[in-house]
A and B are shown apart, each in its own frame.
Chain A
Amino acid sequence: GAVVSQHPSRVICKSGTSVKIECRSLDFQATTMFWYRQFPKKSLMLMATSNEGSKATYEQGVEKDKFLINHASLTLSTLTVTSAHPEDSSFYICSATLAGGALDYSYEQYFGPGTRLTVT
């Protein structure tokens, strides 16, 4: 259980275009989803926290108008990279946490397989 999927797994786009990445929790409801970016041989960097039905909270230095996040349902969050440029090329990973339950102290998050974005 607790599977998170991402689509697409890899995408190549031209500079100036927009790309949408989907993150889905397949067998559970997720009140909170997180978006990360990872450059080669580097650690994951948190971009934003997404709560169902409300605006995302962005980390310092992450442009909210460039990285649009929508969390319209308990099983789906989307990240849209607007007007993509080559420097946006990276590995984007989402994670989700279980809604409700008794284990509120549990720090376990479930990660998606990631999306490789290449901007040419």
Chain B
Amino acid sequence: LAKTTQPISMDSYEGQEVNITCSHNNIATNDYITWYQQFPSQGPRFIIQGYKTKVTNEVASLFIPADRKSSTLSLPRVSLSDTAVYYCLVGYRRDDKIIFGKGTRLHILP
């Protein structure tokens, strides 16, 4: 499993765009990049998944450069409710075990 590195914490303000970058230097050819969000005392929630270039859904965008050694989760116009821990995960198959890194604790300020 590819190891991931993320900032431990980030602060931002309501209404701003937040970008969280994850490094995964030893990502394998078949690996996908997945981001999860976790609120206190809740299970993680799937945000977005991608393989290369850019993926966008209703809540976020995921930017992946050509070398795929990093990825950036972009949250547009954050609100206080986006305060959570965000995990970047790299892997291949759905039945592969997930090893969580430390995640990024995002704190949105009013």
**Which A residues are closer than 8 A to B by beta carbons?**
4, 6, 31-32, 34, 36, 43-46, 49, 91, 93-95, 97-98, 103-114, 116
Contacts and interface: CB of A to CB of B under 8 A. Distances in A.
Category for how many chain B residues contact A? 20 to 34
Contact of A32 (B34, B95, B99, B101): B95
Interface stretch (B10-18, B43-51, B61-69, B76-84): B43-51
B36 to A, nearest CB: 8
Contacts of B34: 107-108
B100 A43 contact: yes
A43 B103 contact: yes
A116 B41 contact: yes
B102 A107 contact: no
A31 to B, nearest CB: 7
A105 B99 CA distance: 17
Given A98-B94, A108-B49, A109-B46, 10 more contacts: A32-B94, A46-B100, A93-B43, A93-B44, A97-B95, A105-B32, A105-B92, A107-B93, A108-B94, A113-B43
